[in-house]
Amino acid sequence: MIQLGYMGHEEIEVRLLLEAIYLKYGYDFRNYAKASIKRRINQRMVLSKLDNISAMQHHLLSNRAFFELLLHDFSIQVTEMFRDPSFYLAIRKQVVPVLRTYPYIKIWHAGCASGEEVYSMAILLKEEGLLDKTLIYGTDINEVVLKKAKDGIYPVDKIKEFTQNYHKAGGTKSFSDYYTAKYNAVIMNKELKKNIIFAQHNLATDNDFGEMNLIMCRNVLIYFDDSLENRVFGLFNNSLVRQGFLCLGSKESMTYSDSYKNFEEFVPKEKIYRKIII
C-alpha cells in the first residue's frame, strides 16, 4: 500500500491557517519563509494559551482583534535610524550625484515598518538639497506600524544609537536639529514629513508603483520563500525607471531572480543595484 503523506501534521495546520487568513482577510502569507512563520505562530499560540494551531485558526476566523495580533507578529519590525551607516554613506556619495541630475525624484520604501529608515532618507536628502524635489512613499502591510510611521514619534532612549548611526552615515549637522524631545519620546520635524506619503501595500498581492527612481526594500525579502521573492523582484523591476536604483539588505541578493538580467551591481558591497534595461 502506497503512503501519500508528504507533510507532517503541523505543516498541514500551518498551511490551512495561512489559507484561512488569505480567504478571510485578504493577507497573503502563504509564500513567506516557513520556518519564520511557524516560529511566530507558535509564539502567539503560547501567549494566547491555545492548545494547537487548529484552535488558533478557529479563533482568528471569528475574532478580528486576534487576527490583528497575529498580523503584528508576522510583520517585520526590526528597524532603526540610519541602519547600516555604511549603506547610507554609499547612497550619499554614489547615488545622490545621480539623483541630483533629475528634475524630480520618486523613492519607494517597501516594507517601511515604523518609518525610521524613511525619515533617515528624508534627512539625507534635505542635507543634500534634494528633499524639496523628492516624493517618498513609505509602504507596509501593517496599518498599526504605518500609524507609528506617520506620527514619527520614537522612544527617547533610542536617540543615542540613532545619533551615532547618523554621524557614521556622513551626517553634516547635529542630529537634534531634526526632532523635538518631549517627555520620553522624540517627534520628527514636520518639514521632513511634508514630502512623505505613508500607505498600506502588500508585496505578496498588490501591484507595482510606477516610475520610481529609487526603491529601498532592506531586510524584508529574507522572510519570503523563493517564489515570492522572485515575484517581488519582478514588481520592483516594473516599478523602476531605466537607470533606477534598487537597494536590498546585507543578507539579500537578486542574483538568482528572473529580473537579475535587467540590473547591474552598482555598489556590490552595500547591495545597491541599478536597472539597465527598460
Query: Which letter does DSSP use for residue 32 in this model?
Result: B
Q: How far is CA 210 from CA 53, 154, 185, 197, 233, in A?
A: 39, 31, 36, 15, 14
Residue 273 pLDDT > 90:
yes
> Residue 127: is its pLDDT beyond 60?
yes
Residue-averaged pLDDT of the chain = 91
pLDDT per residue over 207-263, tens digit each? 888 899 999 999 999 889 999 999 999 999 999 999 999 999 999 999 999 999 999
Q: What is the mean pLDDT of residues 145-160?
A: 94
Question: Exposure of 260 by Cβ count < 10 A (0-12 exposed, 13-18 middle, 19+ buried)?
Answer: middle
pLDDT at 31: 83
Alpha-carbon distances, residue 217 vs 140, 155, 190 (angstroms): 11, 24, 24
C-alpha cell at 221: 525579502
CA 272 from chain centre, in angstroms, equals 15
- The residues that bridge with 138 in the sheet, in sequence order, are 109, 198
CATH of span 85-152+189-275? 3.40.50.150
The whole-number average pLDDT for the span 76-92 is 90
Count CB-CB contacts under 10 A for residue 145: 21
What is the reported pLDDT for 10?
80
The pTM score is: 0.87
Give the CA dihedral 33, 262, 212, 271, nearest 10 degrees.
Answer: 60
Confidence grade of residue 26 (pLDDT, cut at 50, 70, 90): confident
Confidence grade of residue 278 (pLDDT, cut at 50, 70, 90): low
Query: pLDDT tens digit string along 174-220?
Result: 999 999 998 889 999 999 999 999 999 999 888 888 899 999 999 99
**Residue 187 β-bridge partners:** 153, 180
How many whole angstroms separate alpha carbon 202 and alpha carbon 141? 5
Q: Is residue 263 within 8 Å of 274, Cβ to Cβ?
A: yes
The domain segmentation of the chain, as residue ranges, is 9-74, 85-152+189-275
Calpha distance 107→254 (Å, rounded): 19
